[in-house]
Structure 1
């Protein structure tokens, strides 16, 4: 995952947190839910990319051994 991708995913997570907080402050459950969904989606994407990076590193180590 490139630095730009990581930054974009982190920005999406933060935007979700802000939207969730705005929904909470405005007593708008729909906005709060939308923000929470965006935050969860961004975190899931980050976790998937971390798993992919770890698999790539493991593959590289295995290739280095042979």
Structure 2
């Protein structure tokens, strides 16, 4: 993202005037260190779960999933 236009673009995303395409959302998520699904999550508890799961290994995620039934 061009630093000269980044602030204006982010402002439009935040206000809901425009939505980033998936590739842009992916780049934003990578920059923020969050999974891209986090950016689309409209539930705070689910968003927190996504953040915590994203820090686990694949094996740990499988164990969590197994424990959920």
**Higher alpha-carbon Rg:** 1
**TM-score of the superposed pair, with normalisation by structure 2:** 0.28
Flag the structure with more relative contact order, 1 or 2, with Cα contacts below 8 A and sequence separation at least 6.
1
**TM-score of the superposed pair, with normalisation by structure 1:** 0.29
Structure with a larger share of its residues in helix: 1
